[in-house]
Structure 1
Amino acid sequence: MPFPAHEILRPDSPVKPAWSLFDTGWYLHRYADARAVCAGKPAEAALDYYLRIGVRLGHSPSPVFDELYYLAENPDIAELVRRGAYSSGFDHFCQHGHRGVSPHWLFNDALYADLYEDMTLEILDAHGCYGRYDHYLRSGQRERRMGHFLFDGMFYRERALEAGITEREIDGPGPYAHFLATLGGGGDELATSTYFDPAWYVEHHPGAKAEILRGRYSAAIQHYLTNTAPEAFDPVPQFSERFYRRRYPDIASAIEAGLYRNAYQQFVQYGCFELRQPSPDIDLAYYRDMHERVRNDLNAGVVRDAFAHLRLIGLKEDMAYCPPEAPPALDEAGTREAFLKKARADLAIFARQGLDFGFGGVPEVSVILVAHNRFELTMRTLASLRRNFAGAIELILVDNASTDDTRRIGTYVRGTRLLRSEQNLGFLRAANLGLAHATAPALLYLNNDVELGFGAVASALRRLNSAGEIGAVGAKIVRSNGLLQEAGSIIWNEGTAVGYLRDAPPLTPEANFVRDVDYCSAVFLLCRTALVKGLGGFDEDFTPAYYEDADLCVRLIGAGYRVVYDPAVTLEHMEFGSAPTTEVSMALMRRGRRIFRDKHKAFLQSQYAPGPQNLIPARSRGQKPRVLFIEDTVPLRRLGSGFVRSNDIVHAIEAAGYEVHVFPINGAPYDYMSLYGELPETVEVLVGQDFMTLPDFLAERREVYDLLWVARTHNLDRVLPLLEQAKISAPIILDTEAIASARDALRFQAFDFTEAFAAEFASAGVAAMVLAVNEREAGLLAASGLAVNVAVLGTVRRPAPTPRGFAERGGLLFVGAVHQADSPNLDALRWYVEEIYPALAEIMGEVPVLHVAGHVARGVGLEGIAERPGIVWHGELDDLTRLYDEARLFIAPTRFAAGTPYKIYEAAGFGLPCVVTPLLAAQLGWADGRELLAANDPRGFAQQIARLYRDEALWTALRHNALAKLAREHRPEDFAARVGEILAVVRG
């Protein structure tokens, strides 16, 4: 029953929650008017004054309840108090609010409920606790439970003991109650957690300090948590609110929805676990990965997260928390010497074992290798070649009048065609000598001072054979110091030939996609043998060397063939390893350039002029139009949530003949294997870029793009000002993926859809075309009067049913990504656990096990789900085939969502019948009882599960119908053609 404040505060009240305290001493110290009236009177006079007068003046009865905060945060309650329904905010809290409303700015009732699954009202009632705050005051504050993201009871206790406060003084009321009682007492404010520094706060926010001195706030932490500009104040020197909001704009909507007061709250509760960057100069991932102690302390639970570790330990011990701006460059003279030493160290191996290049039948590749001395380098190169490719190699070794042990190389290398020259012919003429003996369909020019990367020869052969118009394939060449020599090469219009990205790290995004180029170095150049022979090999005008490979590639291009750079073909090169000095090499290069310029005047007229503004256009040959594809992150299929469809779109754009550059606006904190393994080889994946770097990126590439494809409407709002600033006028395709306002209208009861829709698409008018994922959402866009073309681009899924039949399967399956705490998938799982499962247990008795798989963002709590009996949590899996083959049916109890649910397409594609909500069925356009089963309430959903789980004929029919639907309406070839049509319409 409700207990009004005037009853619950009386000394003889039978109900005594810990929060029902009237603290006479604190009250009289806090309120001067009460102190004046009650002076010299009995102690009970203060309580009487509070109940008669103080409640009308906005007084609080004790330090653990803040009347003014309670009314300010709950205007509906304030209105009830104004009307006389309650005598005060505290009166409302006593009667009703203690069951879910936060009573103080330093306690968050919802957070306490989310963090601790035993804090349900039912459990609390059973244990005689009057709400979560009662529990926290009685025991939670002493149990290291978190009642607020900025209060750590044990942390505060340690600071208080250091300040000379006794254990008895702290432990009597508890650290939380003790801290509140000290506020406004005139002493120094002690820090309540490592996440807030009150001394730094008042020093760096003079406005806040002034407000505290005027008495408007009792402490720095109160000012921080209750001021009206939560984004304007940083809590510690290591966090920048402004930076974090710009760096991670995805949290803006959560702040607007009231889930967080500011960005720092999101960071402390979730972002620190995700290793998000708190300020420009702090990289938590680097801090964790670079220090074993940090990892050990985190694993041992010494600290909560990497940010806390940095503030508590790392800063004091001067532990590095961000990478140096540029890693120290390795001295190339030293690395060249190390390369040589490794080669010399292997000589004893070859003396005993040798190398065998013998083969039977027809060779797959002829390798021409020219050697002049440097025996150890040649042997290391040949050993690398033999290890690299197990197929038949016709090795043509030209000894160019060597005077060292190269003269005896035939003793150690068997199965080679060894050609000797009595004089040093130079590389060019010696290579032409070897060309006459090449019989394989593919010819590899290979320097004798390299070490091949994994699968280099096989990768190059695959690329050469992938298209008849490819005449040559070149490699990503890394120098001995670990930096690039070239990632393909550019020929400028004045004849200069430059290795693209020289001195850049090999993992630079621009170096890691396949493209046609002007030429590739003959350090490793795989060509069609007949084509090279038809062109007469290297032009001997360039004797002894340099520019002969550029000349050959230009002649290949002139003959109608392509020269392709393939980053899968890698090698380490000891540059100038065979030259007597680098000065000699440079002189030969200058001579070769003069010859090349005179010979290829017509070719050079069509080349770009040298300059940084032309670097991106010049790095690729051909006239492919370029598309900048902007997404939240690199669209990896395992991320779900629309990224599967974005992945398919990138593939389709590339297949339509476009050069695609993928820009992850929120960054891409994923492993390189995933980043480069799920998108076409010709796509530039801009790893390392994000919203913070986007202005500079757009400025550098202002003239590069023919079209922009922006995935998700919120990203258009973010990039549009930057596009205007960079003066980029390329047409824009806005792919909505899902209409967020339509989803939120289902989620929130009091929701103005018209206003939200207008805000969501306020920038859409600049787009040349707006895409919806289904006809339903296309209708919403068309009905809005949006003055742009609206088109539908659906989803692709090829049927690939797993083989097991009905009787061989068991259990339920749910697959879905959980990117944030308000995720529709997380809500669906909670609904299943809390309401559908009990109904299913009543209907079936023994409930089938539910298997759950999918990506979960770090910091998102799964309390009450992952550990629940009857649920097996698999987490993120690269291959779900086994789960789809073993489960009997798929469930999707989704209550709010937009777009179309790819997980249903995927499940149906694997041949697994589905039980879904009518919402999802409508988004799919699939019929209840034909392609799936649907229900909207917990018991109905449970009944559909039980029905389908037991009925093999129904199961078989739904499986067949859904597979047929996919085969008719979601074919990859139709999807690719649709993307091609959209691109053609937009480009005119």
Structure 2
Amino acid sequence: MSWSLADARFLLQRASGLSRRGLLSLRTRGWRTTWERLIAQLGVLPPRLREPLWFPEGEPTAPAAIFSDPAPRASIVIPVFGQLAHTLRCLQALAAHPPHAGCEVIVVDDGSADDTQQALAAIAGLRYLRREENGGFIAACNDGAGIARGEYLVFLNNDTIPQPGWLDALLAPFASQPDTGLVGAQLRYPDGRLQEAGGVVFSDGNAWNYGRYGNPDDCRFASLRDADYVSGAAIAIPRELFRSLGGFDAHYAPAYYEDTDLAFRVRASGRRVLYQPDAVVVHEEGATSGTDVASGIKAYQTRNRERFAQRHAQALAAFGDASVAPSPASVHRTRRQILIIDALTPTPDHDSGSLRLVNLMRLLIHQGAHVVFLPAKRTHADEHTHTLQKLGVEAWYAPYAGRATAWLREHGPRFDTVMICRHYVAREFLPLVRRHAPQAQVVFDTIDLHYLREQRGAALAGDGALARAAARTRALELDIIARSDLTLVVSEAERALLAQDAPQARVEVLSNLHQLADDGSPYAQRQDLVFVGGFRHPPNVDAVRWFVEEVFPLIRAGEPGMRFHCIGGHVPAVVQALAAHDGVLVHGHVPDIGPYMRGCRIALAPLRYGAGVKGKINLSMAHGQPVVATSVAVEGMHLRDGHDVLVGDDAEAFAAAVLRLYRDESLWQSLATHGRENVQRHFSMEAAAETVRRVFLTGAR
């Protein structure tokens, strides 16, 4: 596609914004950190590479034994009719990579005339059920379900090669997604191409394998999502739900459309039907039934389509026309579609802003929306992109996401709301969104008011150049607020400021979003102090330097054995150098923050400037860990000194508060209890649910 004037404008806005932010970074972070950030910003990461498919080596042979749990979580039911070689390869694959979940394997022999009975009867652990007469796929599956003991039934064709980890992934949505009723695997051809990424049903009853012959890494097919139906070649369903629905309906005997009918009945019961891309199963399509719909058992597909269309005519009226190719817009047609644009893919294990954004996506999905995420940089961020996909977020990245103009031209018309994070990202994308998604409500998420943070930093440093840069940021941020339909801030204090600076703006408070953790170890089993915060954020660098150089010596004078744990990614040299001080441990990024939340006695927030709501405070309080902070750090957080938190603004007051809390178990327990209550009341998912519904999910669909 050729370059357009819109592309040129977009790149010009990006270049000017990057230049301005680079100059500001030089003054606040120094040249070394600024250079590292620039390389990260301009570098392009390749999309993740697909792992090669696994196949059994050599000739098909029966495994000597297969896993068998006496109290299985899942029962794998495999219907077979002849085709022993396929069955043996399927069982070899299962035996080679046992799942973490306890399982049993049930093979239902539907009257095979070959050596199936002799071969399978010798496999230790396998439950073998033989039908005397051939009744077809439906009868065999229902018989297998009848003797199953697992909480979940997993129906698996014998002409499949399940890939490592497939079953645990197939069962995962039942724990992570509310009201899940049926989950289908990603089916692939032996050459690695997609066979099915969930099924699409049309208003005439015809069905289509979404993604057929496509690339499994294509963003359209790589995330957990609702599907019209999922192929019975590899599906999971709660056993009690299957039985309450009467199993596969014999109306479609011997086979075909029974899986589509089951999906419609599951959905009618109030449960969801999901496609799980992480459950990869290779399927030799047609190995047992052929592919010719004019002859053999495959001919039942045409007859059963008519039966299905008659039975579900009322529901099918809301489905699309078969003449229109399925697309991301059509497969999510029943849900409000929300596009979120940010500079980079969120990294919730690194910073509180990312945690807030991921939890917002989770909350939107739980309230019934379909969420799409586009990083301005268009990179695949490895496990962080995969985290979004596992949640059910349609996450985009290059090369599948083209230039911003082209991508929005294609996808813009499907969105009900577009949320753009950070003023410099909004400055680039807002004109494109207005042009290509004119129907969408535009929400500007400030993350925090950048100009307020910069003003405070300039005042603390007494730097006139920083003050002028803050004034420029203020003008840019207020301009974006004026051109957006709604602006999100994280505190009532910031809403009050915008009531003065942008009185015409519609502003809503959507603060940090946290889930309460366990309350960790008791007071007597905890020790030391901890700070958590990413060091790309200049206020965090200033905070730990001030604490270590001016406050910590006063604390060590009273408690000589006290240690200070400094945790956060992208550690600059000035912070790393603090490790030379006695008792200071600079850990950098820690993948699992839990041990420090559960084991350190006090969390610190010694910020001397900043804006927004401090995730580090919420994080600690959610774990039952009391906090000592400055007034700036607790701004807008509904906290009271002495009740939920201790506050100190100069070195002497801060050190005294730390020592007092460290030594007073009763005060410690009181602050721990009240801090958790504060998170539940103001910063939990439940507390934000109504605001999210009002901002994103009301109005005409």
Partner of 1:640: 351
Q: Choose from 89, 98, 110 the match for 1:380.
A: 89
1:665 lines up with 2:376 in the alignment = yes
Q: How does 1:601-616 map to 2 (within 5 A)?
A: 602=313, 605-610=317-322, 614-616=326-328
Q: Against the structure 1 CA distance between its residues 692 and 555, is the aligned structure 2 distance closer, same or farther, given a 3 Å change threshold?
A: closer
Partner of 1:772: 489
Q: How does 1:535-934 map to 2 (within 5 A)?
A: 536-537=249-250, 539-540=252-253, 549-550=259-260, 553=263, 563-578=273-288, 584=292, 594-595=302-303, 598-599=306-307, 600=309, 602=313, 605-610=317-322, 614-620=326-332, 623-667=334-378, 670-672=381-383, 674-677=384-387, 681-688=391-398, 693-748=403-458, 749=462, 750=464, 751=467, 756-797=473-514, 800=517, 802-819=519-536, 823-838=538-553, 844=558, 846=560, 848-856=562-570, 862-934=575-647
Cα shift at 1:366: 6.7
Partner of 2:693: 980
Contact 1:398 1:434 in 2 (8 A): no
- Which secondary structure state, in structure 1, belongs to the residue aligned with residue 570 of structure 2? coil
TM-score w.r.t. structure 1 length? 0.60
TM-score w.r.t. structure 2 length? 0.81
Cα shift at 1:850: 1.2
Whole-Å separation in 1 of the counterparts to 2:486 and 2:676: 31
Whole-Å separation in 2 of the counterparts to 1:565 and 1:555: 16
Q: Which amino acid counterpart does residue 36 of structure 2 have in structure 1?
A: Y
Q: Against the structure 1 CA distance between its residues 707 and 519, is the aligned structure 2 distance closer, same or farther, given a 3 Å change threshold?
A: same
Cα shift at 1:851: 0.6
Cα shift at 1:780: 1.0
Contact 2:10 2:428 in 1 (8 A): no
Q: Choose from 111, 130, 139 the match for 1:418.
A: 130
- Which secondary structure state, in structure 2, belongs to the residue aligned with residue 637 of structure 1? coil
Whole-Å separation in 1 of the counterparts to 2:316 and 2:698: 34
- Which secondary structure state, in structure 2, belongs to the residue aligned with residue 742 of structure 1? helix
Cα shift at 1:768: 2.8
Whole-Å separation in 1 of the counterparts to 2:203 and 2:505: 42
1:439 lines up with 2:156 in the alignment = no
1:876-907, CA deviations, whole angstroms, 9 ceiling, x for partnerless residues? Answer: 22332322333332222212211011111222
Cα shift at 1:860: 7.2
Whole-Å separation in 1 of the counterparts to 2:144 and 2:621: 58
RMSD: 4.3
Q: How does 1:454-469 map to 2 (within 5 A)?
A: 454=164, 456-457=166-167, 460=170
Contact 2:105 2:127 in 1 (8 A): no
Cα shift at 1:946: 4.0
Q: Choose from 226, 243, 257 the match for 2:24.
A: 257
Whole-Å separation in 1 of the counterparts to 2:317 and 2:330: 13
Whole-Å separation in 1 of the counterparts to 2:520 and 2:65: 51
Contact 1:546 1:592 in 2 (8 A): yes
Contact 1:368 1:443 in 2 (8 A): no
Partner of 1:299: none
- Which secondary structure state, in structure 1, belongs to the residue aligned with residue 358 of structure 2? helix
Contact 2:337 2:369 in 1 (8 A): yes
Whole-Å separation in 2 of the counterparts to 1:633 and 1:887: 31
Contact 2:184 2:275 in 1 (8 A): yes
Q: Which amino acid counterpart does residue 835 of structure 1 have in structure 2?
A: E
Structure 2: 5+ residue stretches without partners = 1-7
Contact 1:495 1:593 in 2 (8 A): no
1:901-922, CA deviations, whole angstroms, 9 ceiling, x for partnerless residues? Answer: 1111222333333332221233
Contact 1:731 1:986 in 2 (8 A): no
- Which secondary structure state, in structure 2, belongs to the residue aligned with residue 703 of structure 1? helix
Q: Against the structure 1 CA distance between its residues 824 and 595, is the aligned structure 2 distance closer, same or farther, given a 3 Å change threshold?
A: same
Q: Against the structure 1 CA distance between its residues 907 and 594, is the aligned structure 2 distance closer, same or farther, given a 3 Å change threshold?
A: closer
Q: Against the structure 1 CA distance between its residues 737 and 354, is the aligned structure 2 distance closer, same or farther, given a 3 Å change threshold?
A: closer
1:452 lines up with 2:162 in the alignment = yes
Cα shift at 1:533: 4.6
Q: How does 1:168-567 map to 2 (within 5 A)?
A: 251-257=18-24, 259=26, 269-271=35-37, 274=40, 277=42, 283=44, 339=55, 342=56, 344-347=58-61, 350=63, 353=64, 365=75, 367-373=77-83, 375-385=84-94, 387-388=98-99, 390-402=102-114, 405-406=115-116, 408-413=118-123, 415-419=127-131, 429-432=136-139, 435=142, 438-440=145-147, 444-454=154-164, 456-457=166-167, 460=170, 472-493=182-203, 496-526=206-236, 529-530=242-243, 533=246, 536-537=249-250, 539-540=252-253, 549-550=259-260, 553=263, 563-567=273-277
Q: Which amino acid counterpart does residue 612 of structure 2 have in structure 1?
A: G
Whole-Å separation in 1 of the counterparts to 2:401 and 2:269: 44
Q: How does 1:98-177 map to 2 (within 5 A)?
A: none
Q: Against the structure 1 CA distance between its residues 867 and 254, is the aligned structure 2 distance closer, same or farther, given a 3 Å change threshold?
A: farther
Cα shift at 1:832: 2.5
- Which secondary structure state, in structure 2, belongs to the residue aligned with residue 744 of structure 1? helix
Cα shift at 1:739: 0.5
Q: Which amino acid counterpart does residue 234 of structure 2 have in structure 1?
A: F
- Which secondary structure state, in structure 2, belongs to the residue aligned with residue 851 of structure 1? strand
1:532-590, CA deviations, whole angstroms, 9 ceiling, x for partnerless residues? Answer: 656633624xx7x665644664576678775432334331223343467x6x4798899
Cα shift at 1:987: 6.0
Whole-Å separation in 2 of the counterparts to 1:271 and 1:467: 36
1:677-719, CA deviations, whole angstroms, 9 ceiling, x for partnerless residues? Answer: 4786333233548997332322221222111233333332221
Cα shift at 1:481: 1.7
Q: Which amino acid counterpart does residue 645 of structure 1 have in structure 2?
A: R
1:954-974, CA deviations, whole angstroms, 9 ceiling, x for partnerless residues? Answer: 544444443443344334322
Q: Against the structure 1 CA distance between its residues 259 and 613, is the aligned structure 2 distance closer, same or farther, given a 3 Å change threshold?
A: farther
Cα shift at 1:852: 0.7
Q: How does 1:75-114 map to 2 (within 5 A)?
A: none
Q: Against the structure 1 CA distance between its residues 862 and 732, is the aligned structure 2 distance closer, same or farther, given a 3 Å change threshold?
A: same
- Looking at both structures, which has the greater relative contact order when contacts are Cα pairs under 8 Å and sequence separation is at least 6? 2
Q: Against the structure 1 CA distance between its residues 249 and 953, is the aligned structure 2 distance closer, same or farther, given a 3 Å change threshold?
A: farther
Whole-Å separation in 1 of the counterparts to 2:594 and 2:217: 32
Q: Against the structure 1 CA distance between its residues 496 and 329, is the aligned structure 2 distance closer, same or farther, given a 3 Å change threshold?
A: farther
1:488-514, CA deviations, whole angstroms, 9 ceiling, x for partnerless residues? Answer: 011345665322122334344433433
Q: Which amino acid counterpart does residue 255 of structure 1 have in structure 2?
A: G
Partner of 2:654: 941
1:74-94, CA deviations, whole angstroms, 9 ceiling, x for partnerless residues? Answer: xxxxxxxxxxxxxxxxxxxxx
Q: Which amino acid counterpart does residue 586 of structure 2 have in structure 1?
A: W
Cα shift at 1:531: 5.9
Contact 2:199 2:208 in 1 (8 A): yes
Contact 1:371 1:378 in 2 (8 A): no
